[in-house]
C-alpha cells in the first residue's frame, strides 16, 4: 500500500501519518467499536428467544453478567500489556478472542454454556474498547484526536440504534441458511471481525519500543477479579436477592477483601503495577477518574431509564419507545461531533465542556420536573438537549486523561478512563433501577388509594374487571375492584397489564411509576452536579502537539540524554 509509513527504529521519532493512513487505521478501529456496541444490543433483543429455546429464562441474567464481568476486569490489563508489548499485537489478540468467543456462543447448547462463552467474548470486547482509543492516541495528535473520537462515539451510538432492529430480525427468523436465527446474532461478528483484523494488521505499522524490566502484574489482575466479580454480580442481582440478603452481604465482603488485596499488591508491584497507585497521587488524574465514573453513570443510566419511562408511563411499545429515544441519540452524536470540531479548530476544551456539563444538569433536572407529563412536545426537546450536553461533556474526558500521564503510559491512562466509566455505568444503572423499584410500591398504594375514593374511577375499574380479556390485567382490576391496593403492587414485577388496561384505569399506576422515576431523575441531576463541580475544579491540561508515538519517542530520547 502506497501510504504505509516508513520503517522506524525504536529510538527515532515516528513520522507523522498522512490523513489517508489515519483513515485506514481508524476504519478498522471503528469496525471494532461497531462490533462491541451492536453486539450488546443485538443480544439484549435476542436473549428472550435464546432463553426460551434453552428453557432457561430465569438464567438469562448470567449471560449478561458474565460478559460484563470479563469485559470490565480486562480493561486495565489490556492497557498495561499494550504499553509493554505494543498496541497492534494486543488489538489483534482482542479481535481474535472476540471472534472465537462469538463462534463458541453460536454453538452453545445451554444457558450456562452461553454464559461461559460470553465471558470469553467479553475478554475480547474489553480490549477492543480500550485499545481503539489508545491506538488513536498513538497515531493522532490530541487537537485532531477529538475529531476522530467524535466519530467513535457516533458509531457507538448509531450501532446501538440498529442493534435492536438486527436482533429482532434474527431472533424472529426460525432459520437462516439452515442455522437457527438467533445464532446469527453471534455469527455476524465473525466476518466483521475479520475485516477489522485484516485492516489493522495491514495498516498499523508503527514500531513499538518494548519497555524492559517491567513485569506483568498477574497477581494484581487476579486480585482485581476477586474484588470486581462479586460487585458486578450483586449489581445485577441485588434487587432480586435483596441488598441485605446473605448472598449480597457475602458479595460485599468478598469485594472488600479483594479490594484490600489489590491495593496491597499494587503497592508492592510499584512501576509494574496494573494500575500504579502513584498515578492517583496526581490530583488531575484522580479528578479525571472521578469524572469518568460520573460520566459512566450519566451515559448509561438515562439510556436505560428513559426507554422504561416511555414504555411504562407513556404506554409506548418497544418499537415506538426506541423511536422516541432517537432525539436523545441524535443529540449525543451531534454533541460528540461538535465538540470534536471545536477542539480540533481551537485546541481548547474547557469552556465548551463546562457549558455542556451545565446543559446536562439543566436538562436532567427538567426531566425531573416533567416526569409526570405525557406531553411529547415537552419531553423530546429535553431529551435532545440532554443528549447534546452529554455528547459534548463526554468528549474531552479520555482526551485529557491521555495528556496527564507521560505519553509512554498512554495505555494506562486510556484504560483507567475506560475502566472507571464502565464501573460508573454498571453501578449507576444498578443503584438507580433499585431506587426506582424500591419507591414504586408505596407510590402505587398512595395513588391507587386516592383514585379509589373517586366514584367514576371505581366504575371504570368495575367495568374493566368484567370486560378485560388479558388474564394478568383481569386479576389486577378484580383486586382493585375489591379494594385490595396491595395486589396492585404486583405490577412492579409484571408491567404487561398496563399495556392492556384502559388508560382511565391504568392512569394512577402510571403516575406512581412517574413519581418514583422523578426521584431517580433528581438523583441523576445531583450526580450531574457533582460532575460539573469536579469539571470546574479540574485544572486545565495543555494538549500535546504531537501524536502519542512521537511524544513517547521524545520522552525516551530525553531520558537517555
CA separation for the pair 539, 434 (Å, rounded): 35
| C-alpha radius of gyration, the chain, whole number | 25
CA angle 395, 401, 406 (to 5 degrees): 140
How much is the mean pLDDT over the chain?
Answer: 80
User: From the DSSP assignment, how many helices (H) and strands (E) are in the chain?
Assistant: 20, 2
Burial of 244 (0-12, 13-18, 19+ CB in 10 A): exposed
Residue 176 phi, psi (nearest 5):
-135, 120
For residue 58, what pLDDT band results from cuts at 50, 70 and 90?
Answer: low
Q: If DSSP codes are grouped into helix, strand and coil, which group holds residue 176?
A: strand
Q: How confident is the model over 244-291, as pLDDT tens digits?
A: 889 889 989 999 998 899 889 888 887 777 788 888 888 888 998 999
For residue 229, what pLDDT band results from cuts at 50, 70 and 90?
Answer: confident
Q: Which range, 59-73, 208-222, 256-270, 446-460, is most confident? A: 256-270
CA separation for the pair 307, 325 (Å, rounded): 7
The whole-number average pLDDT for the span 92-105 is 94
Q: Note the pTM of the prediction, 2 decimals.
A: 0.79
User: Residue 206: what pLDDT?
Assistant: 65
CA atoms in the 13 A half-sphere facing the CB of 116? 8
Q: So what's the architecture of 1-212 in CATH?
A: Up-down Bundle (1.20)
Torsion of CA 291, 435, 161, 42, to 10 degrees: 110
Neighbours of 191 (CB within 10 A): 10
Pick the range with the lowest mean pLDDT from 4-8, 114-118, 554-558. 4-8
Contact 13, 134 (CB under 8 A): no
Neighbours of 326 (CB within 10 A): 14
Task: Considering only residues 98 and 349, tell me which one the structure prediction assigns the higher pLDDT.
Answer: 98
Name, in order, each residue with C-beta under 8 angstroms of 226's C-beta and a sequence gap of 6 or more.
254, 257, 258, 261, 262
User: Residue 361: what pLDDT?
Assistant: 94
User: Residue 442: what pLDDT?
Assistant: 83
CA separation for the pair 152, 155 (Å, rounded): 5
In CATH terms, the fold of domain 275-545 is Growth Hormone; Chain: A; (1.20.1250)
For residue 543, what pLDDT band results from cuts at 50, 70 and 90?
Answer: confident
| Residue from 534, 116, 88 nearest 298 by CA | 534
Name 179's bridge partners. 176
- Compute CA distances 479 → 239, 468, 497, whole Å: 26, 13, 13
In the chain, CATH 1.20.1250.20 sits at 1-212, 275-545
Contact 405, 279 (CB under 8 A): yes
* pLDDT tops 50 at residue 85: yes
CA separation for the pair 214, 217 (Å, rounded): 9
| C-alpha cell read off for 385 | 438537549
Amino acid at each position: 500500500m502506497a501510504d504505509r509509513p516508513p520503517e522506524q527504529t525504536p529510538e527515532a521519532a515516528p513520522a507523522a501519518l498522512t490523513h489517508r493512513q489515519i483513515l485506514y487505521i481508524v476504519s478498522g478501529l471503528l469496525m471494532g467499536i461497531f462490533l462491541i456496541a451492536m453486539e450488546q444490543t443485538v443480544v439484549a433483543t435476542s436473549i428472550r428467544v435464546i432463553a426460551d429455546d434453552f428453557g432457561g429464562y430465569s438464567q438469562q441474567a448470567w449471560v449478561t453478567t458474565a460478559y460484563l464481568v470479563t469485559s470490565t476486569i480486562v480493561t486495565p490489563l489490556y492497557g498495561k500489556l499494550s504499553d509493554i508489548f505494543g498496541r497492534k499485537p494486543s488489538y489483534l489478540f482482542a479481535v481474535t478472542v472476540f471472534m472465537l468467543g462469538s463462534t463458541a456462543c453460536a454453538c452453545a447448547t445451554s444457558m450456562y454454556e452461553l454464559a461461559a462463552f460470553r465471558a470469553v467474548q467479553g475478554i475480547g470486547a474489553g480490549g477492543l474498547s480500550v485499545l481503539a482509543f489508545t491506538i488513536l492516541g498513538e497515531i493522532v495528535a490530541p487537537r485532531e484526536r477529538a475529531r476522530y473520537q467524535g466519530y467513535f462515539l457516533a458509531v457507538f451510538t448509531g450501532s446501538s440504534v440498529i442493534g435492536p432492529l438486527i436482533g429482532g430480525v434474527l431472533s424472529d427468523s426460525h432459520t437462516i441458511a439452515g442455522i437457527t436465527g438467533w445464532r446469527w446474532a453471534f455469527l455476524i461478528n465473525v466476518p466483521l471481525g475479520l475485516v477489522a483484523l485484516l485492516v489493522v494488521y495491514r495498516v498499523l505499522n508503527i514500531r513499538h519500543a518494548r519497555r524492559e524490566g517491567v513485569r506483568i502484574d498477574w497477581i494484581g489482575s487476579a486480585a482485581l477479579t476477586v474484588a470486581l466479580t462479586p460487585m458486578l454480580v450483586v449489581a445485577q442481582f441485588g434487587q432480586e436477592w435483596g441488598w441485605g440478603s446473605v448472598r449480597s452481604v457475602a458479595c460485599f465482603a468478598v469485594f472488600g477483601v479483594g479490594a484490600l488485596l489489590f491495593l496491597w499488591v499494587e503497592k508492592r508491584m510499584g512501576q509494574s503495577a496494573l494500575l500504579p497507585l502513584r498515578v492517583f497521587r496526581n490530583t488531575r488524574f484522580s479528578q479525571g477518574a472521578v469524572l469518568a465514573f460520573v460520566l459512566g453513570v450519566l451515559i448509561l443510566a438515562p439510556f436505560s431509564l428513559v426507554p422504561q419511562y416511555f414504555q411504562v408511563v407513556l404506554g409506548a411499545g418497544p418499537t415506538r419507545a426506541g423511536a422516541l429515544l432517537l432525539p436523545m441519540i441524535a443529540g449525543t452524536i451531534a454533541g460528540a461531533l461538535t465538540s470534536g470540531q471545536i477542539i480540533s479548530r481551537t485546541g481548547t476544551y474547557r469552556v465548551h465542556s463546562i457549558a455542556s456539563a451545565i446543559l446536562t444538569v439543566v436538562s436532567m433536572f427538567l426531566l425531573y420536573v416533567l416526569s409526570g407529563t405525557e406531553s411529547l412536545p415537552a419531553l423530546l426537546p429535553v431529551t435532545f438537549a440532554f443528549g447534546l450536553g452529554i455528547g459534548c461533556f463526554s468528549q474531552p474526558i479520555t482526551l485529557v486523561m491521555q495528556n496527564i500521564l507521560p505519553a509512554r503510559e498512554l495505555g494506562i491512562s486510556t484504560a483507567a478512563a475506560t475502566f472507571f466509566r464502565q464501573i460508573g455505568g454498571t453501578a449507576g444503572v444498578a443503584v438507580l433501577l433499585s431506587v426506582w423499584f424500591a419507591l414504586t410500591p408505596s407510590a402505587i398504594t398512595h395513588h391507587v388509594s386516592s383514585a379509589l375514593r373517586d366514584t367514576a374511577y371505581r366504575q371504570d375499574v368495575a367495568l374493566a374487571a368484567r370486560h378485560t380479556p388479558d388474564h394478568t390485567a383481569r386479576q389486577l382490576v378484580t383486586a382493585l375492584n375489591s379494594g385490595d391496593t396491595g395486589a396492585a403492587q404486583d405490577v412492579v414485577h409484571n408491567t404487561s397489564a398496563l399495556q392492556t388496561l384502559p388508560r382511565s384505569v391504568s392512569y394512577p399506576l402510571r403516575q406512581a411509576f412517574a413519581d418514583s422515576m422523578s426521584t431517580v431523575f433528581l438523583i441523576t441531576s445531583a450526580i450531574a452536579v457533582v460532575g460539573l463541580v469536579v469539571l470546574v475544579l479540574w485544572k486545565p491540561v495543555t494538549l500535546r502537539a504531537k501524536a502519542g508515538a512521537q511524544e513517547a519517542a521524545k520522552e525516551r530520547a530525553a531520558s537517555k540524554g
